[in-house]
Amino acid sequence: MRISVAIDGPAGAGKSTIAKIVAKNFNLMYINTGSMYRAVTLKSVEANIEPEDIQKVLKIVDNMEMHFENDELILNGENINDKITTPEISNKVSAYASIKEVRAKLVLLMQEMSKKYDVIMDGRDIGTVVLKDATHKFFLTASPEERAERRYKELINKGLEVNYEEILKDIIRRDYLDTNREADPLRKAEDAIEIDTTGLNIQEVVDNICKHIK
């Protein structure tokens, strides 16, 4: 039987950092589903296509070949990791990720990946929609202030000039949009284990998750 691990939670809860380590421990393929929505946003922005123009956005999606190598998304043969983690894309992604037709297409791609490989996927709707039958489900949370602090440090370490207050505002805005959108909103699956990571270090969260998977 295939192993599938779902990790959901709000922006900045530590999902990707934790998922990458757990992936190594259990030899799973790490699928960062947020990066797929970010890729759709990047390509749409590059082509000057607004999220209201759903048909054009869908055409963009149909011309995207996406797979993961070494934890990073490869889009049409190019590693676009640096281009999709900018504040501009973070600001715009919620609008594209709330298009239900886009979600339907990406969810299918994610489900295909989970049939081919043992996966650990992180996102907002993995336990509730994408991998309803996941063998393991986790829901990570942390206070907005702690999540903003983590994202701030991550971007500063990348050499970007960013402002903490703006990141906090963006996190609160995205929490609201992710939780209140009509299509596949962020929520904890009934059978997911909830872990509040506020004040916990990465190893403590990893140990907790690994204990449950074992």
Report CA 212 to chain centroid distance, whole Å: 22
Contact 137, 127 (CB under 8 A): yes
Residue 12 counted as an annotated binding residue: yes
Please check whether residue 143 is in contact with residue 153, taking contact to mean a CB–CB distance below 8 angstroms: no
Number of residues in contact with ligand DC under rule CB under 6 A = 14
| 10 marked as binding residue | yes
Q: What's the burial of 45, exposed, middle or buried (CB within 10 Å: 0-12/13-18/19+)?
A: middle
- Residues numbered 95 to 154 that lie near ligand DC (CB under 6 A) are 97, 123-126
Was 51 annotated as part of a binding site? no
Positions in 48-67 near ligand DC (CB under 6 A)? none
By CB under 6 A, name the one of 18, 19, 31, 38 that touches ligand DC: 38
Q: How far apart are CA 103 and CA 106, in angstroms?
A: 5
Between 38 and 150, CB nearer to ligand DC = 38
**Is 127 annotated among the ligand-binding residues?**
no
Task: Show contacts with ligand DC in window 159-178 (CB under 6 A).
Answer: 174, 178
5, 61, 93, 189: which one binds ligand DC (CB under 6 A): 93
DSSP code of residue 63: T
Chosen residue from 5, 6, 28, 37 binding ligand DC by CB under 6 A: 37
17 assigned ligand-binding residue: yes
Is 16 annotated in a binding site? The answer is yes
Distance between CA atoms of 40 and 52, rounded to whole angstroms? Answer: 14
Q: How far is the CB of 58 from ligand DC (least distance, A)?
A: 16
The contacts of residue 4 (CB under 8 Å, 6+ apart) are 114, 118, 119, 120, 121, 131, 133, 134, 135, 136
Considering only 14, 40, 80, 94, the residue that binds ligand DC (CB under 6 A) is: 94
Contact 131, 6 (CB under 8 A): yes
Q: From the annotation, which residues make up the binding site for ATP?
A: 9-17
Binding site for ligand DC (CB under 6 A): 11, 33-34, 37-38, 93-94, 97, 123-126, 174, 178
Q: From the annotation, which residues make up the binding site?
A: 9-17
